[in-house]
Chains A and B, each alone.
Chain A
Amino acid sequence: MKRFHFYNCGDFKASYEEELSLFQTGLGWLWLIIGLILILTVIPMSVNPPVIRILSLMGIYSIAAVGLNIITGYTGMISLGHSAIFGMGAYTAVILASGMNAPFWLAVPAGGLISAIIGIGFGIPAFRLSGFYMCFATLACQKIMEFIFIHWKGLTGGVDGISLPETVFPAPALKNDMIIYYIVFILLALMSWAAVNLLRSKFGRVFLAIKDDRKVAGTMGIPVFKYKLLSFAVGSFYTGIAGALFAYYNRHISPGDFTLSLSIVFIAMIIIGGIGSVRGSIYGAVVIILIKEASVYGERTLSDMFDISLTSASLYAFVTGLLMVLFIILKPKGLAGIWDDICSAFRSWPFSQGIDHGFKR
């Protein structure tokens, strides 16, 4: 059993392994275990069903945001087509479950795999393009996928969308929302663990190298295009899993759920949370869902107080956009960066802070 150890004042690292370690003190592990226990046992017992649904949505969006962070945060390619990939996972799951009676444990990974393949397709323009050109290429892909969602009526049900059949879950003892909640959070824990470790592996270092300077990375013998595609595949796999879970969560999907707006919302998540940080993706998703719920509340309040009828969707979009711009201007490292600043201020307390910790996750 490892002994808990805490920091002395300041930042003393004696080896590279120490710098790379998952948590820098034993306290991190403690918090992780406490958090998992809270999420998996205490919270489901104590809160009411609507809150469970909101929390599940947070988990689903968190998984998708982690996926986007692998593409945008690690590898540095801005993807405006993320909601199409998310939708691809959702449609795959629903079509498999309703058309071929595939069980849950088959439909969700299939959604992830198909999304990964589509994601590789999205990444193909990266062969020649980088930077803002990738933005436009993924935007075009997003619009084309939206078109397919709407107009391939035989498979996707057109504008009205398709629903899951009623008898999908074999276990009637627990409510569906509860099952989804557990599955979402167990998957979120596993997948963010995998994403954090991806950053510590060879692949993560290659992604970071490509992000920092793809020409230098190429000169050092890294096959840049291959790794860009790999990044797209892994990120899209995450997003596809999230999309499939979203389909089971919502039980009905339509093309209106997967528009360009959702892509921007995903980007807003990783900006608010912190670009290139797995923790940050989760913070961002939580903040965005909170804004969404608050804007529903705000709509009611505003229409009660004044005689104006603002829709909640417009409040949500406006506040999200504003927060995104403000975070980029004031705190480009996002909420995860703010948390790191606070931590390092405590750590080096009597002295001024200003130690920039290289790795953050």
Chain B
Amino acid sequence: MNDLLNLLFKGLSLGSLYALSAMGFVLIFRAGGIVNLAHGQLMAMGAFIFLLLYGFLDGGFIIVLLLTTLICLLMILVIERLLIRPFYPIDMKKAIFVTLGIMFMFKGLIASVSLSSVEVVSKGQGFDSVHLYILAAGIVSIIILLLFYKRSSLGLYIRAVSDNRKAALSIGIPVKRLLTFTVLIAGMASAISGILVIIGSGMNAADLGPMEARIFPSIILGGLGSMTGAIMGGIIMGIIESCSGEQSGPLRDLLPYLIMLVILLIRPKGLLTFKS
């Protein structure tokens, strides 16, 4: 019984991070109509930079975290400026190809340094206070992002653009700058969630590889374009992954994608979205 509670708790903390990243995906999808296939790899990129700095600097935890955040911010800004901005009235298919290319570039960067030297900080078997902190950080970030989306004027603009881009443009919303800002926020959400995932898994560099596509099942489960769906999907997928991972080993690599395929077959707009 205690084991089960533990698994649920771990799944909840992992799920809150997936939810955070999935919310970022939804933001980009709504503000720009971009299906960002590099989203999972962006998580891995954040985690990679964190691990690199952590092994390299030998400094305090907080400093490394701040530095990683700063580097991710700059990186996302540069990528948005150079590779996404040039074709703003975006063709969906082109955007898919471009984000695939960006994903592959990230993959190359991550493979360029072997991270085996980083020591394992905590290999949590039982209850772990690390997961409590992660859950707290995840929930706080989710609430901030949700407040930004629902309450702030920028969030209102994003919703306006996703409803009708031309009308939004005609009443004076700076659509291009808004997209830059959205990509920045969403990218940061994704990178931070990647950093927290890698901390939660015990600083294991081998987790970077499979992270490339791990976020997509939660996004599909929640339904593209729905914020609450993204949160629910992320949490459910985190719990499923945690439970399947601890009890039956390899299922962890299969189950999320199987669920994703089934949902795409029976209800492509997501299990948890009710409005059309």
Query: Is chain B found bound to chain A in the same assembly?
Result: yes
- CB pair A314–B112 under 8 Å, yes or no, is yes
Residues of B within 8 A of A78 (CB): 93, 96-97
CA distance A315 to B254 in the complex (A): 30
Q: Which of B67-75, B138-146, B257-265 contacts A (4 or more CB under 8 A)?
A: B257-265
Our pick among A125, A315, A329 for the contact of B265 (Cβ within 8 Å) is A125
Contact A136:B109 (CB < 8 A) given known A321-B102, A324-B100, A329-B98:
no
Does B92 touch A at the CB level, under 8 Å?
yes
> Closest CB of chain B to A28's CB: distance in Å?
30
CA distance A265 to B105 in the complex (A): 11
Does B197 touch A at the CB level, under 8 Å?
no
Contact A261:B264 (CB < 8 A) given known A132-B96, A136-B216:
no
> Closest CB of chain A to B179's CB: distance in Å?
16
- CB pair B92–A132 under 8 Å, yes or no, is yes
In this complex, what residue of B is CB-closest to A135? B96
Does B165 touch A at the CB level, under 8 Å?
no
- CB pair A321–B264 under 8 Å, yes or no, is no
- CB pair B101–A322 under 8 Å, yes or no, is yes
Contact-residue size bin, chain A (C-beta under 8 Å from the other chain): 35 or more
- CB pair B96–A314 under 8 Å, yes or no, is no
- CB pair B108–A315 under 8 Å, yes or no, is yes
Residues of B within 8 A of A315 (CB): 108, 112
**Hey, what's the 0/1 contact readout for B227-265 against A, CB within 8 Å counting as 1?**
000000000000000000000001001100110110011
Does B94 touch A at the CB level, under 8 Å?
yes
- CB pair B264–A129 under 8 Å, yes or no, is yes
- CB pair B94–A133 under 8 Å, yes or no, is no
Does A208 touch B at the CB level, under 8 Å?
no
Does B135 touch A at the CB level, under 8 Å?
no
Would you list which residues of chain B between 79 and 118 have a CB under 8 Å from chain A?
83, 86-87, 92-94, 96-98, 100-112, 114
Contact A325:B98 (CB < 8 A) given known A151-B250, A317-B111:
yes
- CB pair B103–A264 under 8 Å, yes or no, is yes
Residues of A within 8 A of B260 (CB): 136, 140
Our pick among B35, B83, B102, B265 for the contact of A132 (Cβ within 8 Å) is B35
- CB pair A324–B265 under 8 Å, yes or no, is no
In this complex, what residue of A is CB-closest to B93? A78
Residues of A within 8 A of B87 (CB): 329
> Closest CB of chain A to B242's CB: distance in Å?
18
Would you list which residues of chain A between 131 and 158 have a CB under 8 Å from chain B?
131-133, 135-137, 139-141, 143-144, 146-147, 150-151
Does B205 touch A at the CB level, under 8 Å?
no
- CB pair A140–B97 under 8 Å, yes or no, is no
In this complex, what residue of B is CB-closest to A134? B264
Contact-residue size bin, chain B (C-beta under 8 Å from the other chain): 35 or more
Residues of A within 8 A of B101 (CB): 268, 271, 321-325, 328
Our pick among A150, A261, A318, A328 for the contact of B97 (Cβ within 8 Å) is A328
Residues of A within 8 A of B212 (CB): 260
Residues of B within 8 A of A161 (CB): none
- CB pair A321–B108 under 8 Å, yes or no, is yes
CA distance A122 to B55 in the complex (A): 42
Of B94, B111, B265, chain A has the most CB atoms within 10 Å of the CB of B111
Residues of B within 8 A of A38 (CB): none
Residues of B within 8 A of A321 (CB): 100-108
Does B220 touch A at the CB level, under 8 Å?
yes
- CB pair A147–B102 under 8 Å, yes or no, is no
- CB pair A133–B112 under 8 Å, yes or no, is no
Our pick among B35, B111, B268 for the contact of A135 (Cβ within 8 Å) is B35
Would you list which residues of chain A between 244 and 298 have a CB under 8 Å from chain B?
260-261, 264-265, 267-268, 271
Residues of B within 8 A of A143 (CB): 213, 253-254, 257
In this complex, what residue of B is CB-closest to A145? B257
Does B134 touch A at the CB level, under 8 Å?
no
CA distance A267 to B103 in the complex (A): 13
Does B158 touch A at the CB level, under 8 Å?
no
Does B37 touch A at the CB level, under 8 Å?
yes
- CB pair A264–B104 under 8 Å, yes or no, is yes
CA distance A328 to B101 in the complex (A): 9
Residues of B within 8 A of A129 (CB): 264, 268
Would you list which residues of chain A between 146 and 181 have a CB under 8 Å from chain B?
146-147, 150-151
Does A207 touch B at the CB level, under 8 Å?
no
> Closest CB of chain A to B203's CB: distance in Å?
21
> Closest CB of chain B to A286's CB: distance in Å?
19
Contact A139:B96 (CB < 8 A) given known A147-B253, A314-B112:
no
Residues of A within 8 A of B254 (CB): 143-144, 147
Does A91 touch B at the CB level, under 8 Å?
no
Residues of B within 8 A of A265 (CB): 104
- CB pair B100–A140 under 8 Å, yes or no, is no
Residues of B within 8 A of A125 (CB): 261, 264-265
Residues of B within 8 A of A42 (CB): none
Does A311 touch B at the CB level, under 8 Å?
yes
CA distance A267 to B97 in the complex (A): 8
Contact A268:B104 (CB < 8 A) given known A129-B268, A136-B260, A328-B94:
yes
Does A75 touch B at the CB level, under 8 Å?
no
> Closest CB of chain A to B25's CB: distance in Å?
11
Our pick among A128, A135, A316 for the contact of B108 (Cβ within 8 Å) is A316
In this complex, what residue of B is CB-closest to A267? B100
- CB pair A140–B108 under 8 Å, yes or no, is no
Does A320 touch B at the CB level, under 8 Å?
yes
Of B92, B105, B106, chain A has the most CB atoms within 10 Å of the CB of B105
Contact A271:B105 (CB < 8 A) given known A132-B92, A329-B87:
no
CA distance A318 to B103 in the complex (A): 9
Sampled A-B contacts (6; CB under 8 Å): A135-B37, A140-B258, A144-B257, A150-B250, A321-B107, A324-B97
Q: Can you add 7 more A-B contacts, CB < 8 Å, to A136-B264, A325-B97? A: A136-B260, A139-B257, A144-B258, A264-B103, A321-B103, A329-B86, A329-B98
